Amino acid sequence: MKSHNDRVPVVNRCVAMVHVEDVEAAAKFYQLLGFKIESRYVRDDGVTNFIGLKSGQAELFLAVSSGPIVPSQQAVLFYMYTSDVISLRNHLIDHGLEDGGIPPGLRKRGQEGHMPERNAAYSICYPFYMPEGELRVQDLDGYTLLIGQLEP
């Protein structure tokens, strides 16, 4: 029988692992956000099946998917932070992301128009919980990234 003084093991680190269609392409996308490749595993057939990325204290694992990725079925989003959300959005647009315009959920009647599912950066919005600004990005596989402005 354990006494109350015995330490119970706890989880003290969690890293999101995302299944993507092309691990190398996804890693290049996340490098636009400042992530650096920490580890890479390549199968015998030459296909990269895993890359570990890190940026400061943020970590992300990318693993090759066993099937097609459907953006509308992505039930996870990633919340990240930056010290300059405006410059980050400009950087992403300058490096080929589509300007998605007004973020989904904030569009009014008549503004529905084209809404990209992949590789897009939307206009910065200012929700009550992130008054300094928040950027919505869709990565190459349709995963949603919300990137909040750190307070100055």
* pLDDT per position as a tens digit, 35-57: 999 999 999 999 999 999 999 99
| Predicted local distance difference test score (pLDDT) of residue 7 | 80
| φ and ψ at residue 91, rounded to 5 degrees | -60, -45
Q: Among 126, 56, 118, 113, which residue's Cα sits nearest to residue 86? A: 126
Q: Which domains does the chain have, with CATH numbers?
A: 13-68 (3.30.720.120), 70-152 (no CATH)
Global confidence as pTM? 0.82
Write the CA distances from 77 to 17, 50, 130, integer angstroms. Answer: 12, 20, 16
Residue 112 has what pLDDT? 65
d(CA 25, CA 5): 49
